[in-house]
Structure 1
Amino acid sequence: MKVGIIGGTGFYDLVDEMEELRVNTEYGEGIVYKGSYKDKDIYFLPRHGKHHDSLAHQINYRANMKALKQLGIHHVLAMCAVGSLTTEIPVGSLALLDQFMDVTTNRVNTFDQYSVEMTEPYCPNLRQNVIEAAGELGLTIRPTANYICVDGPRYETALEINVYKNWGMHVVGMTNGTEAALARELGIAYAVVCLSTDLAAGTTEVPPDLDTHKNVVKDNQQKLKDLFLKSIEMIQEDQPSIAHDAYQRALSARKDKLAASAN
């Protein structure tokens, strides 16, 4: 079975002897690292590029996600660092996303082929895998969180954060809404563990800081690796997902148009 992992630089050594793959897609090249764990093929994709040199708005999201699809990956776990809008998700704590709101305005976030259902944007079965893994490891993880996706690269104003809080958002980030939408269009089961690296603007007197963000990620790398490896163990061969079903319905609804465009 193949499992995809999306995250930052701390996951390059998730398992031993990972091999670099360069996957050419119609949207550009995706760089993926392949290894194995517990009889599963693991494919790690560094979201921000091999050298972490792409800011959130510069990431080639379509190439990244299409590379995973071309490798035959149907289940993906992702990690994202977020700013917390609530003291209920303190710095250094983990949460599972279950809903997102996308307010980006400068992104390509579709493959432009069909409409796909997104009532539940994150796979419930994969989320349950993570919850069970956290339980076995004795890790505390908040089971639900609403994520708002912003363009970046700047951080948010205190007023923006206050509005997002009033909308019912719990965490803010710059990548996940785009990634989740593309994953669903490709029929990829997708779930996200987020790590709170700071309290968002206006939530505290301490402003968001990139160095603090990096240090929190570094301090929690081993915890995250342990959680992801245990979650991978939990994923079953041919595990069903609402994402797979939504994808098939989308293809069926547009089959005549898709067939015509292929000819």
Structure 2
Amino acid sequence: MKIGIVGGTGFYNLVDGMKETTVSTEYGEVIVYEGKHSGKEIFFLPRHGQSHDSLAHEINYRANMMALKELGVNHVIAMCAVGSLNPDIPVGAFALLDQFMDVTTKRVTTYGKYSVEITQPYCPDLNQSFLNAADELGYEVTPKANYICVDGPRYETALEINIYKQWGMDVVGMTNATEAILARELGIAYAVVTISTDLAAGTTDVPPDLDTHKNVVIDNQQKIKDLFLKTIERISDDKPSIAHEAYERALSARKEKLEKSETSEANV
């Protein structure tokens, strides 16, 4: 079984001895690190590049997700650092995403091949694997959180955060909705655990900054690694994910549409 792992700020090394490889896609080249754990092939992809040289709005999301697909990966687990709007998800706390709201306007969020259903954007089976792993390790994880995805690279105003809170958002970030959308379009089962690295603007007197953001992740790096490695051990492919089923329905619908179009053209 092949499992993709996508990591962001401060999270780069999962297991020792991983081999660097370059994957060429029609959207660009991507650096991926290949290794094994629990008898499974794992492919770690640093979301922001090897040296965190791409800010959220500069990431080549389509190349990243396509690279994993071309490697034969059908299950991806990810880590995202976020700002918390919810006092029950304090700095350093883990949460599993359940739903997202995408308010980005300046990036491409589709491969443009077909329409795909994404009512439930995160794979419940992968989420359960995370929860089971956390329980075994004795870690607390909020099981369901709502995420709002903003363009960045700037942080949010206090007014924006206040409105997002009224909308029912729990955490805010700059990357995950884009990733989740593209994963679904590729038929990849996808789930993400977030770590709160700060309290969002207007909820504290301490302003957000990238160094603090990174340091919270670094301080929790061992816990993150343990959680991901234990989750990998728990993941199985004994049944299709809702993502795989949605993908097959999308392909079927697109095929029918193309066949009807070809028939109409032939009759002209």
Tell me if both proteins adopt one fold, taking TM over 0.5 as the criterion: yes
Aligned residue in 1 for 2:218: 218
Asked if structure 1 preserves the Cα contact closer than 8 Å seen for 2:9 and 2:214, the reply is no
Deviation (angstroms), 1:12: 3.6
Alignment of 1:217-256 (within 5 A): 217-256=217-256
Asked if structure 1 preserves the Cα contact closer than 8 Å seen for 2:10 and 2:215, the reply is no
Deviation (angstroms), 1:144: 0.5
Deviation (angstroms), 1:239: 4.0
Asked if structure 2 preserves the Cα contact closer than 8 Å seen for 1:2 and 1:73, the reply is yes
SS of the counterpart of 1:144? strand
Asked if structure 2 preserves the Cα contact closer than 8 Å seen for 1:76 and 1:188, the reply is yes
In 1: Cα distance, 2:176 partner to 2:140 partner? 22
Deviation (angstroms), 1:9: 6.0
Q: Which amino acid aligns with 1:179?
A: E
Deviation (angstroms), 1:237: 3.4
Computed over aligned residues only, the root mean square deviation of the Cα atoms, in angstroms, reads 1.4
Q: Which amino acid aligns with 1:231?
A: T
SS of the counterpart of 2:154? coil
In structure 2, relative to structure 1, the CA distance for the partners of 1:258 and 1:179 (3 Å cut) is farther
Deviation (angstroms), 1:164: 0.3
Aligned residue in 2 for 1:131: 131
Deviation (angstroms), 1:98: 0.5
SS of the counterpart of 1:253? helix
Moved more, 66-75 or 204-213: 204-213
In 1: Cα distance, 2:8 partner to 2:243 partner? 24
Query: What's the TM-score once normalised by structure 1's chain length?
Result: 0.96
In 1: Cα distance, 2:111 partner to 2:245 partner? 18
Deviation (angstroms), 1:203: 0.7
Moved more, 80-89 or 250-259: 250-259
In 2: Cα distance, 1:87 partner to 1:105 partner? 28
Deviation (angstroms), 1:86: 1.4
Query: What's the TM-score once normalised by structure 2's chain length?
Result: 0.94
- The unaligned stretches of length 5 or more in structure 2 are 263-268
Alignment of 1:14-163 (within 5 A): 14-163=14-163
Aligned residue in 2 for 1:196: 196
Deviation (angstroms), 1:11: 4.4
Asked if structure 1 preserves the Cα contact closer than 8 Å seen for 2:11 and 2:218, the reply is no
Asked if structure 2 preserves the Cα contact closer than 8 Å seen for 1:21 and 1:34, the reply is yes
Aligned residue in 2 for 1:205: 205
Aligned residues: 261
Q: Which amino acid aligns with 2:160?
A: E
Deviation (angstroms), 1:119: 0.5
SS of the counterpart of 1:22? strand
Deviation (angstroms), 1:232: 0.3
Deviation (angstroms), 1:35: 0.3
In 1: Cα distance, 2:161 partner to 2:102 partner? 14
* Identity, % of aligned positions: 74
SS of the counterpart of 2:183? helix
In 1: Cα distance, 2:239 partner to 2:37 partner? 17
In structure 2, relative to structure 1, the CA distance for the partners of 1:103 and 1:245 (3 Å cut) is same
SS of the counterpart of 2:3? strand
Cα-to-partner distance string for 1:112-144 (whole Å, 9 max, x where unaligned): 010000110000000000000000000000000
In 2: Cα distance, 1:159 partner to 1:80 partner? 23
Asked if structure 1 preserves the Cα contact closer than 8 Å seen for 2:184 and 2:247, the reply is yes
In 1: Cα distance, 2:83 partner to 2:184 partner? 24
Moved more, 61-70 or 13-22: 13-22
Q: Which amino acid aligns with 1:119?
A: T
In 2: Cα distance, 1:12 partner to 1:158 partner? 31
Deviation (angstroms), 1:257: 5.3
In 2: Cα distance, 1:239 partner to 1:30 partner? 29
- The unaligned stretches of length 5 or more in structure 1 are none
Q: Which amino acid aligns with 1:244?
A: H
In structure 2, relative to structure 1, the CA distance for the partners of 1:12 and 1:209 (3 Å cut) is closer
